[in-house]
Structure 1
Amino acid sequence: MITRAFDAPRELVFDALTKPELLKRWFHGPDGWTLAVCEVDLRVGGAYRFVWNGPEGVEMGQGGMHREIERPQRIVRTERFDQDWTGGETVGTAVLSERDGKTTLITTVVYASREARDGALASNMEQGIAAGYDKLDAFLAGAAQAMG
């Protein structure tokens, strides 16, 4: 389980997690990477696809299907990386709650096996997610200012 608080309203955080035009502004991956493909069909049964290009021609892709969408508080979707370094399909659940204009995002990921989970925990996943959330935080701060 990963928990992160953002100084932004829940609707804005939900949009930043689901709308391609907003994802393209912050969901780049590690420094030196770019989001080359960003497709989101935001409906139950709708697919999504992300592809990042990194240094020296490295490419990383992932995609899946939306299982549940309760705007703006919950998203459940499957996820599989092209390189399948997570050992099969995972199911991620994002729950957003708002209090006093701040949004808490709790993300839970269920892996295909204990070995897959342990492998993900042993990777740089935690640092990567934290770096991504830092970029989201910066984007939200700018978006909130622009909204007045």
Structure 2
Amino acid sequence: MPVTSVESDTEALTMTLVADFPVDPERLWAVFTDPRQLERFWGPPGWPATFASFAFERGGRARYSMASATGEIARGSWEFLDIDAPRGFEVVDSFVDETGEAIPGMPAMRMTFAFDETEGGSRLTNVTYFDSAEALEQLIAMGAVEGSTLAMNQLDVVLAGLREFAQGKGTQLEILDDQHVRITRLIEGPRELVWRAHVEPDLMRQWMLGPDGWRMSVSDVDLSVGGKYRIAWEPEPGTEGEGFGFDGETLLLDEPRRIVQTEHMTGTDWPSTTNDLSFYEEDGATLVTLLIEYPDAATRDAVLATGMVDGMEKSFERMERVVIG
């Protein structure tokens, strides 16, 4: 993980994040000053960022928004105070409403981004300055330390490129905290087709089967916000096992980039999870990222113990072979 420390200082009224990367400072500078790359990591998992504008000049402004899995929107604005390419820049970061106006009662913070060369690559030092101890405590209470750590730890894949980072590694599982895991898989195929394979029943039945010897017996999907779905599997003759299925509701739909759904094991009293599925394409390859929110660590561990990740890898292999071709 790139982030090595996040420390708050109640006397200096600062929060300082330090992260190290195996790239030169110019490459690190590039991802922080290109909105299309910046929005791939600025929002923490479950709150991806979109930069609507980015006037990168002294006195210029950038506006961004972050959307949660349930459709909540958090908006922010940067005012660029100083730019010293490629060593760093300084902004005022403010919470804003849909018109871009600062939200009363929410703090505005001065932030500096410094990119320094190290023996192994480069170091990011991000210092946030607060006007008062109350403002610092307010941001920490809102999860600023955890959120900034999770956000910056997403930078590895952006800096490396999809194929260098993920090709040949299969389905990867990261346990982020007690309630969240992130599962990633690189698919050698265009995002549009990978998206369709995840939402169109005719394609789902061809690959979303887990180990060999199973078939999808139910694939009812209402692909709309608030729409319900139900999918189920049963073993083929000669294969041991009992059928099972899932049902849920679509919470957010941003075709072909993101879909968020609840998931509940049909016929059980197991609690539902929230599954945040996103797709990013680069040079003809698509990174599939599934962020799962569990109610607690016990449920997380019970689900992972079923061999879910291995079953997903078998399905992804089948997708590449049967659907992508």
Instruction: Compute the TM-score of the two structures, normalised by the length of structure 2.
Output: 0.42
Mind listing any 5+ residue stretches in structure 1 that lack a counterpart?
143-148
Q: Indicate the residue corresponding to 1:69 in structure 2.
A: 253
Q: Give the residue type in structure 2 aligned to 1:41.
A: D
User: Which whole-Å CA distance do the structure 1 matches of 2:213 and 2:305 have between them?
Assistant: 23
Aligned residues of 1:74 and 1:93 also touching (Cα < 8 A): yes
- Answering whether residue 260 of structure 2 is matched by residue 98 of structure 1, we say no
- Preserved CA contact (<8 Å) 1:29 1:52: no
1:32 aligns with 2:213: yes
Give identity over the alignment, percent: 35
The 2-side partners of 1:15 and 1:90 are apart by 22
How far is 1:45 from its partner?
A: 0.5
Query: Kindly tell me: are residues 120 and 56 of structure 1, through their superposed partners in 2, closer, same or farther at Cα, counting changes over 3 Å?
Result: closer
Shift of 1:139: 2.4
Q: Size of the alignment, in residue pairs?
A: 141
CA contact (8 A) 1:4 1:106 kept: yes
State the secondary structure of the residue aligned to 2:217: strand
**What per-residue deviation string (whole Å, max 9, x for no partner) do you get for residues 18-61 of structure 1?**
00111111122321111111111100001111110123572111
Larger deviation, residues 103-112 vs 127-136: 127-136
**Greater C-alpha radius of gyration:** 2
Alignment partners' CA distance in 2, 1:61 and 1:2 = 20
Q: Is the 8 A contact 1:8 1:140 kept in 2?
A: no
Gap regions ≥5 residues in structure 2: 1-181
Is 1:15 equivalent to 2:196 in the alignment? yes
The CA RMSD measured in Å over matched residues stands at 1.6
Letter of the aligned partner of 1:49 in structure 2? R
- Which residue is 2:184 aligned to? 3
Structure with higher RCO (Cα < 8 A, 6+ apart): 1
Tell me whether 46-55 or 67-76 shows the greater mean CA deviation: 46-55
The equivalent residue for 2:321 is: 138
Q: Distance in 2 between matches of 1:52 and 1:98?
A: 30
> How many Å separate the matches in 2 of 1:56 and 1:119?
21
Conserved? CA contact 2:193–2:324, under 8 Å: no
Q: CA deviation at 1:83?
A: 5.1
Identify, as 1 or 2, the structure richer in helix. 1
